């Protein structure tokens, strides 16, 4: 995650404000010129320069993970005959919904030749049937019951993401068509020496729109805090090798280097460099940078 702390901010500034970089670190003279420009309000408006002030905001950082929907192990039941014997009757078929205690099948035990009933241990849906009247029930599972009213999502969390993710975090689960919020309940190591761990969450499937085996995306909210001093990341630009924003005072725009803390891509935390209420350029900030640095460029193509 280290690279993100330092680099992601800049990536974001790039993605929003257009790629920008200083004219080169070897340009000592650059700093002699004050990084200031003036632009009249009409021109600024015409060019889509948008300002905002430094102030409190909610920082919401997410990590993207992928995983599959699985049936909780407590909600799947493979029904077997307790005593081997002849199946005399099967009461349910694949697709039937059963309640706990409902009759599923009747078996005549080999040892006692007495018939006994097999009853549903859980609520659920009959998903498999390997039993018919007249067949011999032995070790095999006769019926499979699945209760899919609540499902697990097992998200794969890789090493680099692990430091950010913990139980109790909110995660947005989305498939191609569905979307729901949930909470990470457990984090457990993956089986088979896979290089990732599993973050497990529950989703409610009472409506039946989710199905086991579905591939889903999980956006885990790893951080959601109120920060007192925040700026929009689209306002960040680099001048020389410093990161900062352009502070607006009337038609004057001045570059203020900032020290930046956390960021969620949308907003960034100001640790130092600007007071609350400072008016800064949040939209099309690249234009201000271009205007200030333009005296350093010439056509040398």
Partner 1 sequence: MIDSILKSAIERRYLFVSMVLVVVGLGVWSYRELPIDAVPDITNIQVQINTEAPGYSPLETEQRITYPVETALAGLPNLAYTRSLSRYGLSQVTVVFEEGTDLYFARSLINERLGAISSILPNGLEPEMGPISTGLGEIFMYTVSAEPGAVDDTGRPYDAVALREIQDWIIKPQLSLVPGVIEVNSIGGYDKQYHVTPFPEKLLAHDLSIDSVVDALRRNNENRGAGFVETGGQQILVRSQGQLTSIGDIAQVVIAIPHGNPIRVSDVAEVAIGRELRSGAATQDGHETVLGTAMMLVGENSRTVAAAVAEKLSEVRTTLPAGIVLDSVYTRTSLVDKTIATVRTNLLEGALLVIAVLMLLLGNWRAALITAAVIPLAMLATMFGMVRTGVSANLMSLGALDFGLIVDGAVIIVENATRRLALAQKTNGGLLPLRQRLDVVYDATREVIKPSLFGVAIITVVYIPIFALTGIEGKMFHPMAATVVIALTSAMLFSLTVVPAAVALFMNGRVAERESRAIQLAKRAYEPALKQLLKVRWVVLSGALAVVTSAAWLATTLGAEFIPQLDEGDLTIQAIRIPGTGLEQSVQMQKKVEAAINSFPEVETTFARIGTPEVATDPMPPSIADGFVILKERDDWPDPDKSKHELIEQMEDVLRDVPGNNYEFTQPIQMRFNELISGVRSDLGVKIFGDDLDELNRIGAEVLEVLEATPGAADTRVEQLTGLPMMTVIPKRVALARYGLTVEELQDMVAASFGGEEAGLIYEGDRRFKLAVRLPEELRQDLYRMGSLPLALPGGGYVPLSEVAEPVLAPAPNQVSRENGKRRIVVTANVRDRDLGSFVADVQDRIAANVTLPPGYWLNYGGTFEQLESATQRLSIVVPITLALVLGLLLMGVGNLRDSLVIFSGVPFALTGGVLALWLRDMPLSISAGVGFIALSGIAVLNGLVMVTFIRQIWRDGLDLAESVMRGALTRLRPVLMTALVASLGFVPMALNTTTGAEVQRPLATVVIGGIISSTILTLVVLPLLFQWVNKGNRAR
Residue 99 to residues 89, 102, 207, 225, Cα–Cα distance (Å): 18, 6, 17, 45
Minimum distance, C-beta of residue 230 to partner 1, in the bound complex (Å): 16
Nearer to partner 1, 41 or 101 (CB): 41
Between residues 75 and 266, which has the closer beta carbon with respect to partner 1?
Answer: 266
Token pair, residue 11, equals 């990536």
Q: What is the smallest separation between the CB atom of 250 and partner 1, expressed in angstroms?
A: 15
Q: How near is the Cβ of 247 to partner 1 at its closest, in Å? A: 16
Partners of 63 in beta bridges: 220
CB of 236 to partner 1, least distance (A): 12
Which of residues 89 and 242 has its CB atom nearest to partner 1 in the complex? 242
Evaluate whether 63 touches 164 at the Cβ level (below 8 Å).
Answer: yes
Q: Which is nearer to partner 1, 106 or 175 (CB)?
A: 175
CA 266 to chain centre: 15
Q: Is 195 exposed, middle or buried (0-12, 13-18, 19+ CB in 10 A)?
A: exposed
Would you tell me which residues interact with partner 1 (CB under 8 A)? Answer: 3-4, 7-8, 10-12, 14-15, 18-29, 37, 39-40, 43, 46-48, 63-64, 66, 156, 158-161, 176, 194-195, 214-217, 265, 286-291, 293-301
C-alpha neighbours within 13 Å on the C-beta side of residue 265: 7
**Structural contact between residues 107 and 91, judged by C-beta atoms closer than 8 angstroms:** no
**Residue 23, phi then psi, degrees to nearest 5:** -75, 5
Which lies closer to partner 1 via its Cβ, residue 93 or residue 299?
Answer: 299
Considering beta carbons, is residue 61 or 200 the nearer one to partner 1? Answer: 61
Instruction: Report in angstroms how near the CB of residue 279 gets to partner 1 at its nearest.
Output: 17
Smallest distance from the beta carbon of 252 to partner 1, in angstroms?
13
Beta-strand ranges (E) seen in 71-205 are 76-80, 85-90, 97-98, 103-109, 115-119, 124-129, 136-137, 141-146, 150-158, 170-174, 179-189, 196-204
User: Length of the chain in residues, anyone?
Assistant: 301
CB 119 within 8 A of CB 104: yes
Residue with the two structure tokens 């086991």: 212
Query: C-beta of 72: minimal distance to partner 1 in Å?
Result: 21
Of 14 and 125, which CB lies nearer to partner 1 in the complex structure?
A: 14
């Amino acid at each position: 995650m280290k690279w993100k702390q330092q680099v992601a901010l800049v990536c974001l500034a790039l993605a929003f404000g257009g790629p920008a970089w200083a004219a080169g670190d070897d340009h000592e003279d650059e700093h002699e010129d004050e990084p200031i420009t003036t632009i009249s309000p009409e021109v600024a408006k015409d060019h889509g320069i948008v300002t905002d002030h430094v102030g409190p905001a909610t920082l919401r950082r997410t990590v993207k993970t992928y995983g599959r929907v699985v049936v909780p192990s407590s909600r799947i039941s493979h029904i077997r005959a307790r005593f081997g014997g002849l199946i005399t009757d099967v009461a349910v078929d694949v697709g039937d919904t059963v309640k706990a205690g409902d009759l599923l099948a009747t078996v005549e035990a080999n040892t006692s030749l007495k018939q006994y009933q097999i009853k549903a241990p859980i609520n659920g849906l009959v998903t498999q049937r390997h039993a018919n009247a007249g067949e011999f029930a032995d070790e095999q599972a006769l019926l499979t019951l699945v209760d899919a009213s609540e499902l697990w999502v097992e998200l794969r969390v890789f090493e680099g993401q692990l430091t950010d993710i913990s139980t109790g975090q909110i995660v947005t689960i989305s498939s191609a068509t569905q979307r729901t919020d949930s909470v990470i309940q457990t984090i457990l190591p993956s089986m088979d020496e896979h290089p990732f761990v599993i973050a497990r969450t529950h989703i409610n499937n009472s409506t039946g729109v989710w199905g086991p085996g579905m591939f889903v995306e999980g956006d885990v909210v790893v951080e959601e805090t109120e920060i007192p001093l925040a700026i929009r990341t689209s306002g960040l630009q680099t001048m020389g090798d410093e990161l900062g924003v352009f502070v607006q005072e009337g038609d004057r725009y001045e570059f203020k280097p900032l020290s930046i803390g956390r960021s969620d891509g949308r907003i960034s935390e100001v640790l130092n460099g600007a007071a609350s209420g400072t008016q800064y350029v949040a939209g099309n900030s690249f234009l201000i940078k271009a205007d200030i640095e333009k005296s350093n460029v010439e056509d040398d193509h």
